[in-house]
Amino acid sequence: MAKLNFGGSEENVVTRDEFPLAKAQEVLKDEVVAVIGYGVQGPGQALNQKDNGINVIVGQRKGTKTWDKAVNDGFVPGETLFEIEEALERGTVICYLLSDAAQIALWPTVKKHLTPGKALYFSHGFGITFNEQTGIIPPADVDVFLVAPKGSGTSLRRMFLQGRGLNSSYAIFQDATGKAFERVIALGIAVGSGYLFETDFKKEVYSDLTGERGTLMGCIQGIFAAQYEVLRSNGHSPSESFNETVEELTQSLMPLVAENGMDWMYANCSTTAQRGALDWWKKFRDATKPVFEDLYKSVATGVESQRSIDSNSKTDYREKLDAELAELRDSELWQAGKTVRSLRPENQAVEA
Ligand SMILES: NC(=O)c1ccc[n+]([C@@H]2O[C@H](COP(=O)([O-])OP(=O)(O)OC[C@H]3O[C@@H](n4cnc5c(N)ncnc54)[C@H](O)[C@@H]3O)[C@@H](O)[C@H]2O)c1
Ligand SMILES: CC(C)(O)[C@@H](O)C(=O)O
Ligand SMILES: [Mg+2]
Ligand SMILES: [Mg+2]
């Protein structure tokens, strides 16, 4: 394991150089990896493992759309695709990739099949950290660990197909066999991680819930909406407001940040823009920091996990989420975005 310097702090990181795919295949050669759940992470992780030569099976409810999706993706009923209980029975590693809320309902069934020496794998610290809310308390004689890809399962799969890798964090909650470390790292490599950085279950879930509610998803939509509304109320057209809020960010500036950091992106903009951005970023930090403090508190006190469990355990949770997504999609901002996206030359070429 390499110790790398992250801005002055040393952290443990496992890279593909020290743990190549061949080693992962060797560690997992006698394992049956059962992926339970085929939503967003399920397909990404199951397909990457399949393509990496791991003995992977999928557990799904027959007659569901996701069962059909697994078949279309190449999983064969009776060979590599089974009803959930049968997959739980066959699996020596159980990748528990139902939604965090759904994991609660299926837990008694999963627990029944966790015989000594098996491994219980999560992609989030949620179920274990908030076990007073979830009731997920594994038996002592199984390994329990997580590999949490830091991005969507869709990106995990796309990047794998491009020969790239998404970074993931890993954590071991319970090492019953003495082999938890090699098992979790092998799985991390097999699911398509570029590298794996060490954390624990609580830190993973606190940071993840904060990030997705914060800059990654919640906050970014919030600041997009705020700037767009100010531009619109001052007489700017929808296309101009959208371009100056979203399109330029995703198409031009964020790729520069991804490539070489914020100062590199700044340096590739005018000195006028640099002067203004350097003057204004601290005001935005100071304005939003109290909101982030509230958010972290809400995560750490279990308010966010409880809200997620309560809303996503309802039978109509999907319809409710879809209705709220449609509201976003139908807003002027994102409708303007739809037209702007259609004007991208590469999209016009596709339509032609
Ligand atoms: N979505 C992501 O890209 C992502 C990224 C990192 C970590 N994670 C974590 O990975 C895990 C899986 O997340 P996901 O987003 O792939 O889940 P998801 O919301 O897509 O749901 C996964 C599966 O659960 C099934 N399901 C829902 N309710 C069920 C029930 N009552 N009984 C049986 N099956 C049911 C769904 O049909 C689906 O097949 C979670 O712990 C999540 O936090 C997700
Ligand atoms: C993809 C995310 C936001 O990183 C993940 O945490 C999730 O919950 O879907
Ligand atoms: Mg998350
Ligand atoms: Mg995340």
Pair 78, 173 in one domain: yes
In which band, very low, low, confident or very high, does the pLDDT at 352 lie, cut at 50, 70 and 90? Answer: very low
Q: What is the pLDDT of residue 1?
A: 80
Same domain, residue pair 129 and 182: yes
Q: What angle do CA 18, 57, 142 make, to 5 degrees?
A: 65
Those residues whose C-beta lies under 8 Å from the C-beta of residue 251, and which sit 6 or more positions away, are: 344
Q: For the chain, what is the domain count? A: 2
Q: Are 67 and 83 in contact (CB under 8 A)?
A: no
| Interface predicted TM-score (ipTM) over 0.90 | yes
Q: Which pLDDT value is given to residue 19? A: 95
Banded pLDDT at 254 (limits 50, 70, 90): very high
pLDDT confidence of 350, banded at 50, 70, 90? low
Q: Residue 45: inside a domain, yes or no?
A: yes
Residues 6+ apart with CB under 8 A from 39: 66, 97, 98, 99, 153
Q: Assess if residue 205 is contained within a domain.
A: no
Q: Are residues 284 and 322 in the same domain?
A: yes
Query: What is the C-alpha R_g of the chain?
Result: 22
Q: What's the pTM value of the predicted model, to 2 decimals? A: 0.97
Q: Does any domain span residue 59? A: yes
CATH code at position 192: 3.40.50.720
- Which is the closest atom of ligand 1 to the Cα of 105? 31
Closest listed residue to residue 325, CA positions, set 317, 191, 73: 317
Best probe residue, ligand 1, of 99, 170, 299, 321 (max atoms within 8 Å of C-beta): 99
| Residues identified as active-site | 124
The answer to whether residues 194 and 250 belong to one domain is no
CA atoms within 13 A on the CB side of 147: 32
Kindly state whether residues 283 and 168 are assigned to the same domain. no
Q: Final residue of a domain: which of 199, 223, 250?
A: 199
Separation of CA 22 and ligand 1 centre (Å):
29
Please tell me the residue having the least CA distance from ligand 2 atom 2.
151
CA–CA gap between residue 6 and residue 291 (Å, rounded): 26
Q: Are residues 218 and 327 in the same domain?
A: yes
* Within a domain: 168: yes
